[in-house]
Amino acid sequence: KLQEIKQEQGIFHAPTSVSSKSSSTSKKKDNENNNNNNNQSNSLNDNEFESNEDLENKCLREYEKGCYLPRLVDINDLDLKNQKCCIDETVDWEKLKQQRESVIKSCSVKPDVEDAFEAFVRSMGSLTADDSLINTVLPMDVQYLWLDKYRPRKPHVFNKVHTGYDWNQYNKKHYDTDNPPPKIVQGYKFN
């Protein structure tokens, strides 16, 4: 029975038990029929599915063509409007270096947040050239000290919890000054 199941599934092994010649010849015929059927089904499967090498070659060809998404776009191929939005890495790095050097030389940082906000509002069209913003922060030079980085930002508050021993009858019997009872909270002091 096991041999028949293996033959139906296409698993061919030498039989473990000794069988008669007639049964072995019938098994050989069945094997040949199964082999023919398997060859036909394999040819159909080869047409439906490509081999691993074909798939790998296809992927390599697509990689060489650059067919993966999103496609790499050259900045020079874009129109002028989109080129203005794109920033080149080297140009951005040079601008950053210049800004760092200017901050180091001047030892101060000029906040331009309000200027950026005003430019944004003007670009939206709600603020004309005659209008001005109310309650704006006057631009002042902020002295940037390197020590500010290490100064604590929050004021120190000293909240104290006063603890002590409660010498009740139980603690007097079971504890002494060398082996005191657990401390309990007796009061708080907020500063």
pLDDT score recorded for residue 89: 86
pLDDT score recorded for residue 180: 94
Taking alpha carbons only, the member of 140, 144, 141, 149 closest to residue 104 is 144
**What's the pLDDT tens digit per position in 66-117?**
666 666 667 677 676 666 677 788 889 999 999 888 878 876 655 555 566 6
Domain boundaries, the chain: 2-65, 160-189
Q: What is the rounded (10 degree) CA torsion for 40, 46, 52, 53? A: 110
**What's the predicted TM-score (pTM) here?**
0.22
Distance (Å) of CA 150 to CA 50, 104, 107, 118, 153: 64, 18, 17, 33, 9
